[in-house]
Amino acid sequence: MSYQINVKNFGKIKKAKVEVSPLTFFVGDNNSGKSYLLTLLWGLQSEKLIQVLTRNIEKIDKKYYQDIYDKIKLFVSEAREPDDEISFDISEFEGLINQLLMKNRNMFVQKLFNSENMSIGKLSVELEKKNRISLSIDDVSEDVICYFADYMGADIGQMRSRTEQIVADILEFMIQRILNETVIIAEKNIYFPASRTGFLLAKDSINQTGREKTFTLVLDEEEQKMEPFTMPILHFLNYLDDKELDTDENRYQKICDFIENEVVHGKVVRGGAIQNKVEYIPSSQDIALPMRTSSAVVTELVPLLLILKSSKEIGQLCYEEPEMCLHPELQLQMARILIQLANLKTNVIATTHSDIILQHVNNMCRLAEIEKPDELMERYGLTKDDCIRFQDVSVYQFTNKGDYSTVKELKPNEDGFHIPTFSNALLNILEQTTDIQEYKEQED
């Protein structure tokens, strides 16, 4: 993400300013808005929902985009050759983008959360000013125009009928490119809900057609009846059902092998008598077990395995409580997995209550600073893929104040990220243990 988002009065969150790093953690109190903000960040990389945020340009005061509108109009009218191109500084779009976000913000969160009761007081972005976006024309005729927008190294295009609306259409497309940054296809933006084990076990009983009926994205003002699933959960369910496992080597093969060999100790397969049925084959036997008979650690990590095995590239992974159901030793292994994913250019955003995950991240950041770490790496069975730099990690502390929550970015000191809620809880239990022991000794 090459922009910083700002929100106000969103659920319990009074205000927050967040910029996603390769590895980002939301930590802090329960019921403080961590999952709300995680869902929002997923929505900002959803192609369908970006269409909600960027609609109705014609209703925005033209003072926010008159210059770029006129430049695009002139370019489209004069462009005749495939190599014709016009380039813009990204700052030229910020005013218009923020006006659109403010205008469409409530419809956006209502579609995202599938609830007409959702609202957000403010949604805006601060763009990375050094970036530029270019527009080129590939083909022009009296009736149709084909154009491309090149942003962040990805050149994406579309074809539209030549109408009076064409300039606004191109402008909207360019804004969508800025907000999405890269090509967005289904597998590039994944959300893992905290209830993923339950969804995995129940997915075969939840008919896909029925799921689709619970959420149909409508871009006009008419609202449909709201139903149980949020949009990212629907996407998660459909992804578990639809994707075939890739039998060829893919970029996540090493991580999949690590999970199967070191964490779940078995293979995950799809198939059998029932189409898309997911089964687990323990390493100690050849017989496949249905998910309902597998342990919690297996059902917890199968969704991750399925997605890694079936994806060529994941741009963003939003992960609620990756430590769920995991023994402390396996929480450490999960921290390794998250770092390795981040090093494969997947932006990982996770909510967590695990001090073990954060401490391992601190250790790997410090290890990355050691000039000759080979001896330590060999001692602990680590590789360079396990290390990450402090500048590639962001941590945001959520604090529940009762009626509202605050969000604060935590900066690392020489020892790493210090998480107040984690350390305070450990100090409290230590103090309690000491008091009880001293009291017992006095009685004796």
- Is the per-residue pLDDT at 282 higher than 50? yes
Residue with tokens 């932006």: 347
Render pLDDT for 239-279 as a digit per residue (tens, 0 to 9).
Answer: 777 666 655 667 899 999 999 999 999 998 876 545 567 88
* Helices and strands, number each (H, E), in the chain: 14, 16
pLDDT band at 220 (very low <50, low <70, confident <90, very high): low
Render pLDDT for 67-79 as a digit per residue (tens, 0 to 9).
Answer: 999 999 998 888 6
Token pair of 227 as six digits? 């139903």
CB 171, CB 72: distance < 8 Å: yes
- Is the per-residue pLDDT at 444 higher than 80? no
Alpha carbon separation from 124 to 16, 94, 127, 380, 398 (Å, rounded): 11, 9, 10, 44, 20
Average pLDDT (95-103) is 96
Which helix (DSSP H) or strand (DSSP E) does residue 306 occupy? helix 296-310
CB 190, CB 318: distance < 8 Å: yes
Q: Residue 243, exposed/middle/buried by CB under 10 A (0-12, 13-18, 19+)?
A: middle
pLDDT band at 218 (very low <50, low <70, confident <90, very high): low
Max mean pLDDT among 153-162, 176-185, 329-338 falls in 329-338
Render pLDDT for 112-132 as a digit per residue (tens, 0 to 9).
Answer: 999 999 999 999 999 988 889
Which helix (DSSP H) or strand (DSSP E) does residue 149 occupy? strand 144-151
Alpha carbon distance 12, 16 (integer Å): 11
- Is the per-residue pLDDT at 381 higher than 90? yes
Alpha carbon separation from 236 to 247, 319, 347 (Å, rounded): 21, 11, 17
Average pLDDT (219-224) is 50
The pLDDT score that the predictor gives to residue 185 is: 46
Render pLDDT for 8-57 as a digit per residue (tens, 0 to 9).
Answer: 999 999 999 999 999 999 999 999 999 999 999 999 998 889 999 999 99
Closest CA to 59 of 96, 88, 95: 96
Alpha carbon distance 359, 278 (integer Å): 34
User: Count of CB atoms within 10 A of residue 154's CB?
Assistant: 14
- Is the per-residue pLDDT at 345 higher than 80? yes
Give the pTM.
Answer: 0.88
- Is the per-residue pLDDT at 210 higher than 80? no
CB 270, CB 307: distance < 8 Å: no
Mean pLDDT over each residue of the chain, to the nearest integer: 86
Helix ranges, 203-252 (H): 208-214, 231-242
Closest CA to 123 of 188, 71, 189, 179: 179
Give bridge partners of residue 6 from the DSSP assignment.
17, 124
CB 342, CB 351: distance < 8 Å: no
Alpha carbon distance 255, 1 (integer Å): 24
pLDDT band at 367 (very low <50, low <70, confident <90, very high): very high
The pLDDT score that the predictor gives to residue 234 is: 87
Under 8 Å CB-to-CB from 26, ≥6 apart: which residues?
A: 34, 37, 38, 349, 350, 351, 352, 396, 398
Q: Residue 191, exposed/middle/buried by CB under 10 A (0-12, 13-18, 19+)?
A: buried
Higher pLDDT, 435 or 413: 413
The pLDDT score that the predictor gives to residue 186 is: 43
pLDDT band at 81 (very low <50, low <70, confident <90, very high): low
pLDDT band at 235 (very low <50, low <70, confident <90, very high): confident
The pLDDT score that the predictor gives to residue 80 is: 64
Q: What is the separation, in whole angstroms, between the first and last Cα of the chain?
A: 61
Alpha carbon separation from 264 to 103, 284, 358 (Å, rounded): 47, 12, 22
